[in-house]
Structure 1
């Protein structure tokens, strides 16, 4: 009888441990062994930039660069309706004002006036100041409406690779940095056609955004620091053929731990939110739910920078305290 009791107890402890571990995981990792990252030749094609695109590591790493002649970029060979798409990216270091590195999905080559788009846009800065990242969600040509959000990063994106991911289903769009969800857009009747709903290709580009990328165009690209090189690896294309939102094994709903991590990341690091831009939208767009947190933002939608800047410095001095996110 004792051995039978111990066996039952062992099963209970194992299940409890598994349940506890599941609560601590922020994002279930895709089953990489089952569907490994494709080499460049297997899944992608060069868009522009001639010799400014270079392959390394048997085609598993891609370097794209910007110089006085041209930027560069590549795209997936296919288009996808829903899935999980990610890359590990290392950004150019030193002075990078005006430089834009983009990792995004789009169908603008097929639907000129009604295209959909999901963006990570990395915006360079002057020496000593940090890169910022902007996410955009455009559906059915709604670029004039805009659903932009910008964030500071809780790490130096030029020192090492970090993973950026887009998970797109027929009802949600989520953006992730490493294992932290930073944004979720939920499909609703109020958004209508402005929720992306047509197949898109995956793109990566680097280009000169001097007219707007840094302080509204105040600081331009300085080509004495060229070439600016952005490095990509672990490029994953995980289409969801059934459109049920489980591409790559990722659960459809965020756990309580994931949602709490996303709320912390947004509270600490979001520096602009379109829902708080009262100058652009006197009445918030219909999907926006604006509460007491609006006091943290200026009428322009920018975060009240003095408080946010002190908070960010505190976390960086703590040696990456946000790694707990």
Structure 2
């Protein structure tokens, strides 16, 4: 017997399909699990809220690890006075020589722009910070934050606009993250020793709890079983084995399109407030990857 769905839910299904398109989207609990402070998680249907108060922050992680692909989450950041707080969305492998791709959203006093700090760690070495302000208020609505990763580049995207590219420059002697499977993580915590104006502005706990809201969890990548050796995962997850063509290995994704290159130039010209590549106090000798980045 056919069950008649109420009109509203049919409409809702249709909207969701239109928005998501062909991306493999999933509910939070299909892809992720809480990693700490379970009592600071609030579930409201498809919405997940993480809470920070003066007892604890909170965080979650993917159930699997991945090698190459694209991860996306939609976040609405802490509203009002969020000074001292950091909301992070990142990918990371394990161990002292880990690789990591970071989005860190640095809270601020009411009315000042949120800063987004990105960083790339390769073989345990980071110090590649870039900071920018966004072209919208990230506390008023959900926006999508994505990391695209293949053997040629790591691209950080905000609403599909690239804000950073880390290119494979192994030919120039620069190590590139391509052989460690990575988990996907997010958390909110108190970092008032550095997060806002270099730590001058502290967290005002009278405004707690600070809440970051999440939805639209998407991971479209190559899943790596823990039991499989890293080298075998790397082989399995690239198209070079000739058996399978993965979408992230398509030639069009080996570098930014012309349109994306223009978008990135626009972001850098109008929104970037700090770039480690031009910080001569920290790096008297320009880091090698900065010398060769043509974006």
Name the TM-score, length of structure 2 as normaliser.
0.81
Deviation string 1:31-54 (CA, Å, 9 cap, x unpaired) is 944443211221111011122112
Task: Tell me how far 1:211 sits from its aligned partner.
Answer: 0.6
Tell me which residue corresponds to 1:208. 190
Match of 2:105?
122
Q: What is the match of residue 185 of structure 1?
A: 166
Matched ranges for 1:59-208 at <5 A: 60-107=46-93, 110-111=94-95, 113-143=96-126, 146-189=127-170, 190=172, 192-195=174-177, 197-208=179-190
Gap change, CA 1:84 and 1:250, over 3 Å in 2: farther
The answer for the alignment partner of 1:264 in structure 2 is 266
Note if contact 1:98-1:219 (Cα within 8 Å) is conserved in structure 2.
yes
1:279 to 258, 262, 281: 281
Over 3 Å counting, the alpha-carbon distance change for 1:250 and 1:102 in structure 2 is farther
Once residues 219 and 80 of structure 2 are traced to their aligned partners in structure 1, the CA distance between those partners, rounded to angstroms, is 31
Structure 1 partner of 2:11: none
Superposed CA deviations along residues 129-163 of structure 1, whole A, max 9, x for unmatched, are 111101100011003xx111000111000000011
- Please give the alpha-carbon distance, in whole angstroms, between the structure 2 residues aligned to 1:248 and 1:213: 36
Task: Give SS of 1:192's match.
Answer: coil
Contact 1:139 1:196 in 2 (8 A): no
For this pair of structures, how many residues does the alignment match?
A: 256
3-state DSSP of counterpart to 2:30:
helix
Q: Who is 2:29 aligned against?
A: 41
From the superposition, tell whether residues 248 and 165 of structure 1 become closer, same or farther in structure 2 (CA, over 3 Å): farther
8 Å contact from structure 2 (residues 24, 220) kept in 1: no
Contact 1:117 1:196 in 2 (8 A): no
> Which of the two has higher C-alpha Rg?
1
Distance in 2 of aligned mates of 1:76 and 1:289? 35
> Aligned residue for 2:40?
52
Secondary structure of the residue aligned to 2:194 is coil
Unaligned runs of 5+ in 2: 1-17, 223-235, 240-245
C-alpha deviation, 1:179, in angstroms: 2.2
Residue aligning to 1:246: 247
Whether contact under 8 Å (2:168, 2:176) holds in the other structure is no
Q: CA RMSD in A?
A: 2.3
Superposed CA deviations along residues 202-229 of structure 1, whole A, max 9, x for unmatched, are 0010000011001111011111001100
Q: TM-score, normalised by structure 1?
A: 0.74
- CA displacement at 1:62 relative to structure 2: 1.2
**Is 1:99–1:124's contact at 8 Å kept on the other side of the alignment?**
yes
Preserved contact between residue 67 and residue 237 of structure 2 (Cα < 8 Å): no
1:220-278 per-position Cα deviation (integer Å, ceiling 9, x unaligned): 11110011000111011110464357349994132211111111111110100010010
Task: Give the distance between the partners of 1:95 and 1:200, measured in 2 at CA.
Answer: 33
Identify which range, 182-191 or 206-215, moves more after superposition. 182-191
